[in-house]
């Protein structure tokens, strides 16, 4: 449970420019798209962490998990992702960098072979894999 200093919010699309400013400042890439749900953890002053859920042909892909450097290693990103996961009824996929494997394992994700993924997720993963080293993970 979050303490009263932090608030978990699913942003309205009208407020996506706020999270895009956050991403520009802390993540250096990524913007909130129209086909994504955006979740933030904020304190009274600012956004601390953000995550996006993209709907891809009936599957959910967790993307854009970012935490302001000043708040890292304090459990905030875990809290945010746990809150996002609690709101979902279906499997959620993600493509994290290898150094984040333990983080996602602690959140209940498991490694998934590309041939075991839905075709649309597997194809997207293979495209992304051409440009960077990533893992394919799922939380059911």
Q: State pLDDT tens for residues 83-130.
A: 999 989 999 999 999 999 999 999 999 999 999 999 999 999 999 999
Task: Check if the beta carbon of residue 38 is closer than 8 Å to that of residue 60.
Answer: no
Model's pTM, two decimal places?
0.92
Residue 82 has what pLDDT?
A: 96
Q: State pLDDT tens for residues 45-87.
A: 999 999 999 999 989 999 999 999 999 999 999 999 999 999 8
Burial 58-68 (b: 16+ CB within 10 A, else e): ebbbbbbbbbb
Domain 7-139 CATH class label: alpha beta
């Amino acid at each position: 449970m979050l303490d009263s200093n932090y608030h978990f919010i699913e942003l309205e699309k009208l407020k996506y420019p706020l999270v895009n400013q956050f991403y520009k400042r802390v993540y250096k890439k990524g913007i909130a798209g129209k086909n994504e749900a955006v979740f933030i953890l904020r304190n009274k002053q600012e956004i601390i962490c953000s995550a996006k859920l993209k709907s891809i042909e009936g599957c959910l892909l967790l993307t854009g998990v970012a935490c302001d450097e000043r708040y890292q290693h304090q459990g905030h990103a875990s809290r945010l992702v746990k809150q996002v996961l609690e709101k979902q009824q279906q499997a959620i996929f993600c493509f994290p960098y290898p150094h984040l494997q333990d983080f996602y394992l602690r959140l209940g994700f498991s490694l998934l072979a590309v041939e075991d993924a839905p075709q649309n997720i597997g194809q997207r993963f293979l495209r992304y894999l051409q440009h960077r080293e990533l893992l394919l993970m799922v939380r059911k």
